[in-house]
A and B are shown apart, each in its own frame.
Chain A
Amino acid sequence: MTKQSRTDEALWMAVQDLDRELLDPGVPTDVIDAAARSIGLDPHAVRAEGRALAAAAFERKRRGWMTAAREKIALLREKAKATTKYAEMGKQMLLEELERWRQHPAIGGEVRAAFRNRKPEESSEDDLRALLEEIERVAAMHEADAEKGGGGDGG
Chain B
Amino acid sequence: MPDDFPADLDWGQQLLQGALYAERRARRFGLRITGAEAKAVAGQALEQIIAAGWDRTLYAEFADCVESRVRGIIINRSRKKATRQEVPAEPAHPSPTDPSPSPEQVAADRQLANRATTLMLERLDGNADATAVFMEMAQGNDRPADIAAETRLAIGKVYRARERISDLSAEIAAALTKELAP
Q: Is the interface of B mostly helix, strand, loop or mixed?
A: helix
Closest CB in chain B relative to A150 CB, distance in Å: 15
Our pick among B35, B59, B146 for the contact of A41 (Cβ within 8 Å) is: B35
Contacts of A87 in B (CB 8 A): none
Given contacts A28-B155, A39-B23, A155-B55, contact A12 B17 (CB under 8 A): no
- The prevalent SS among residues of A at the interface is helix
Partner of A39 from B2, B34, B94, B134 at Cβ < 8 Å: B34
B113 touches A8 (CB 8 A): yes
- Count of A-B contacts judged by CB separation below 8 Å: 185
User: Once the chains are docked, how many angstroms separate the CA of A7 from the CA of B174?
Assistant: 21
B-contact bits for A19-54, CB 8 A (1 contact / 0 none): 111111111101110111001110100111111011
Give 5 CB contacts A-B under 8 Å.
Answer: A9-B92, A26-B144, A27-B17, A155-B2, A155-B52
Closest 8 A-B residue pairs measured CB to CB? A50-B15, A155-B55, A47-B12, A54-B11, A39-B35, A50-B12, A154-B52, A18-B166
Interface residues of A (CB under 8 A from B): 1, 3-16, 18-28, 30-32, 34-36, 39-41, 43, 46-51, 53-54, 57-58, 60-61, 153-155
Q: A16-B169, A61-B51 are in contact. List 20 more A-B contacts (CB 8 A).
A: A6-B137, A6-B138, A7-B113, A8-B92, A8-B117, A10-B140, A18-B169, A21-B144, A22-B20, A24-B63, A30-B156, A35-B20, A36-B16, A36-B19, A36-B20, A39-B38, A46-B15, A50-B10, A50-B46, A153-B1
